[in-house]
Amino acid sequence: MEEHTSKQPLLSPTEICTDQDSTTDNLSHTYFVADADDIPPITGIQDFFREFTIESKKLWYLAGPAIFTSLCRYSLGAVTQTFAGHVGTLELAAVSVENSVIAGFSFGVMLGMGSALETLCGQAFGAGQIDMLGVYLQRSWVILNSTAVILMLLYIFAAQVLRLIGQTEDISREAGKMALYMIPQLFAYAMNFPIAKFLQSQSKIMVMAWIAATALVLHTIFSWLFMLKLGWGLVGAAVVLNSSWWFIVVAQMLYIFSGTCGQAWSGFSWKAFLNLWGFVRLSLASAVMLCLETWYFMALVLFAGYLKNAQVAVDALSICMNILGWTVMVAVGCNAAVSVRVSNELGAAHPRTAKFSVVVVVFSSFSIGLLLSVFLLVFRSQYPNLFSESESVKHLVYELTPLLAFCIVVNNIQPALSGVAIGAGWQALVAYVNIACYYLFGIPLGLLLGYKLNMGVQGIWYGMISGTVIQTFTLFCIVYKTNWNKEASIAAERIQMWGGKPDGKTTDAEK
């Protein structure tokens, strides 16, 4: 990965132009055109393929390890659930409910709030403001740990919350106990996600992959030992899962503190407590943006539970959502990669490179989604046998496969565009788009088709995927109409406003 972006000054007198902005009282604004290291204008097919190959290598250098890391972390909870199934049926239900409802909700909030760091650290790194990365990391720790204290109430009263949403008494009681045991994991989330974005913005992805892989291996071994061999049951599950997440946090912190990040980490600073409100607003916008997307498909399974023959509908839909969840891991890697590329290049005053990164990641994500969809359609008669013995469930999965295939294509493009939004700092705008497309259009249409027109689970899914299509198209239009020169200017202003050096010069240590 080329490191030239970390050494670019914010402004050079020959790289700016002035424009009148009618939305801000006709004040004159200065913004980037491009600097010498930006990609040259593409004038033909040969130029396009040359730059496409170069940019693809940069993206997959980031996306490959990011996908692997996501899969490893996603597997921690899956391994715990697998061993819980060998302990007992009630224990499996308790772990599953706590993992998907209580921890799942907190995971979404923390991941969303942590993604604010993708914007800030990525743009600061690209602009050469390396010393600000550590300050941003500490600010995010302050905000996320404060949020964790509030979310801890959800863990303390988990049993009551689960009863309120309709879980049985036994499952609510056991899942409530599990939630109390899992409070340390909540604070591990608060520490981990800022660290992950801090390292990701510097393209230090491989170390995260190695740590996640080591954690998964150790987690599997100790889960077997504590849960089955020693017979600790739910207590063993909690001890190992908490330890695995804190192992990831501590290992990453040791890597940072060892000096491998250079000027990005120069120790703890009181600057972490400055400009917190602006940081909180961006963090909250990020959380709302990602949580609205996560909860949207959780609602799909919830609504299916109220249909006639609900058990078959929920089982079939759960199989489809499981497959969709694994395929989305690829999109998550592309999301992480493009957010780094866009934020780095905007911070470095490379608007053409940032724009071309968007083209490459959308094309790549679409191609991968199409390939996975074709594979599912070819084997639509065979793959349901891997998940169920029920003929009714398998038949419904077979009928839902074309819709699942289409959903995979859309949900590979949409996270890539969301990654662009995170890299550019558009979280608040995308949150409004999500509310309108998902909750004011998609869900009402799904409920109308599913219940009023008696189309069942297909109708609910048709309506909700329509919301996703409109959201994806809206994001595509926003990206298409974006003035990337002006986005580079906004990135510079954001860095200076939140602690960067106003003259935009690199320090002697950075040269």
Average pLDDT score over residue span 410-433: 81
- Report in angstroms the alpha-carbon separations of 329 from 184, 324, 393: 25, 9, 25
Which DSSP category does 409 fall into? H
Confidence of residue 38 (pLDDT cuts 50, 70, 90): low
> How many CA atoms lie less than 13 Å away from 86 in the CB half-sphere?
15
Mean pLDDT, all residues of the chain:
80
Residue 153 predicted with pLDDT over 90: yes
Smallest CA-to-CA distance from 447 within 435, 464, 460 is with 460
pLDDT (average), residues 413-426: 80
Q: How confident is residue 422, by pLDDT bands cut at 50, 70 and 90?
A: confident
**What is the amino acid identity at position 303?**
F
Query: What's the CA gap between 452 and 463, in Å, rounded?
Result: 12
Residue 46 φ/ψ region, left for φ over 0, alpha for ψ in the -120 to 50 degree band, beta for the rest: alpha
CA 473, CA 330: separation in Å to the nearest integer?
20
> 195-229 pLDDT, tens per residue?
998 998 888 889 999 999 999 999 999 999 998 88
Most trustworthy range by pLDDT among 270-279, 383-392, 445-454: 445-454
504, pLDDT greater than 50: no
CB of 372 within 8 A of CB of 406? no
Of the given ranges (14-23, 73-82, 244-253, 395-404), which has the lowest mean pLDDT? 14-23
Q: What angle is formed at CA 325 by the lines to CA 320 and CA 329, rounded to 5 degrees?
A: 145
Predicted pLDDT of residue 511: 34
Of 17-26, 107-116, 322-331, 482-491, the one with minimum mean pLDDT is 17-26
Element (H, E) at 92: helix 89-97
